Structure 1
């Protein structure tokens, strides 16, 4: 038996998220269907995690087990020929026996993109959140610094989050401006449901002067979701990379 590791890129606007859904088309479903066309058999993809509806990925990692003796090119070029234009296999390789895309992951990098300016951009609309207000980037950076470390992020998760513990380790939260785009890069060992999007919504309120950078420490201590900022739209979020 072979363990095949895939690195998958997708523009998630048309999908109900990564994971198979009973009432919506998922990225996992379209990739598994394309694999059937190449392998001639059904396989189940195990991913490094989930992305919600409308969230994108540049580096989603997934693996599957097969006994088929096909060249690795079949799992990239062959599968890509059967995938829609908004999903593509970027890498395909043979992983060691026992490799697990989820349990072996050591960290993830998420990027949230804000489009700044008075006029919306049709080209950026699917991959960013348009913000017309002026922002205090220094204040946002100060608030972001409070999120780094091993902390209880109960205030920064969806009410539908089913995680057993809300303690997570964040390696870094960095802001970078590139023209009209502001990137908020969050790297950590793991994330709660909607965690990055709630972080962004809270940082945005700091940037707009609606709350102080020092409020972050209080939010972390209180652990109350209703006191943190809004959940930023899914369109601006992208899973950039998973580390092993």
Structure 2
């Protein structure tokens, strides 16, 4: 039997999980997918995710791939797998991709949203997907500050000090804050993100909102390349990964029947 690579688009509520990546001391999204795919396809399956979201972080469309010898058509796997998954994890799509395609090694745009509930008292229904903030926020100042993240910058000030990467330069294509009643949504799209980068940007915009940081301070904070210069790391549960847009969609490289198209 020939091996095929299958791509999954996975949505999940991260509340009850210790993040995406498998770890020994807790239930993870990756661990549940590995377990249920292995049972379904009757072979050992290990998925590779595009984004290793943290504990409590949600997703509308994280991307993962795995290799399998199973005869089940790739597009049918999502239907069969969803019958086995818990209700807080749902595969939105499955399809075959080229055998060497990797979700983290291709040019893409990744989008996250961070939501703040800004009101006098918490709202129980939003406790798991928004950061409750009771203090009055200067929304125009936060909008102005958000726009200053756009462009290519060294984001060393906006990642955890233990981030194990050599290059902390990233490109942000857009960073906007929109208000819908009591919910503020920070929507940010970039070429990639450092560990806790979006949550630190959200925390810094909070500091702008309470007047601790001025919008015009953002370039200087970037220039300092010092985590202490930026604001706090906002809570994980307010963060949702919206999805990824690949420069070349891998499924377009496949012909019906699992054959590669000519490049």
Output the TM-score relative to the length of structure 1.
0.97
2:259 maps to none
For residues 198 and 162 of structure 1, the distance between their equivalents in structure 2, rounded to whole angstroms, comes to: 17
2:96 aligned to which of 94, 97, 107: 94
SS at match of 2:221: helix
1:53 maps to 55
1:73 deviation in Å? 5.0
SS at match of 1:240: strand
For residues 102 and 90 of structure 2, the distance between their equivalents in structure 1, rounded to whole angstroms, comes to: 21
The RMSD of aligned alpha carbons is 1.1
SS at match of 2:124: coil
**What do residues 107-133 of structure 1 show as CA deviations (whole Å, max 9, x unaligned)?**
100000111111201111011101111
1:234 maps to 236
1:131 maps to 133
The alignment of Structure 1 onto Structure 2 pairs a total of residues equal to 244
SS at match of 1:214: helix
1:163 aligned to which of 162, 165, 170: 165
Instruction: Kindly report structure 1 stretches of 4+ aligned residues shifted beyond 3 Å.
Output: none
Conservation of the 8 A alpha-carbon contact between 2:75 and 2:96: no
2:216 maps to 214
For residues 235 and 120 of structure 1, the distance between their equivalents in structure 2, rounded to whole angstroms, comes to: 14
Greater Cα shift, 81-90 or 94-103: 94-103
For residues 5 and 106 of structure 2, the distance between their equivalents in structure 1, rounded to whole angstroms, comes to: 14
For residues 19 and 88 of structure 2, the distance between their equivalents in structure 1, rounded to whole angstroms, comes to: 13
For residues 179 and 211 of structure 1, the distance between their equivalents in structure 2, rounded to whole angstroms, comes to: 24
1:115 maps to 117
For residues 41 and 181 of structure 2, the distance between their equivalents in structure 1, rounded to whole angstroms, comes to: 45
1:151 maps to 153
1:27 aligned to which of 26, 29, 33: 29
Conservation of the 8 A alpha-carbon contact between 1:105 and 1:242: no
2:178 aligned to which of 165, 176, 179: 176
1:96 deviation in Å? 2.6
Residue ranges of structure 2 left out of the alignment (5+ in a row): 247-263
For residues 163 and 118 of structure 1, the distance between their equivalents in structure 2, rounded to whole angstroms, comes to: 40
Conservation of the 8 A alpha-carbon contact between 1:37 and 1:82: no
Which structure is larger by alpha-carbon Rg, 1 or 2?
2
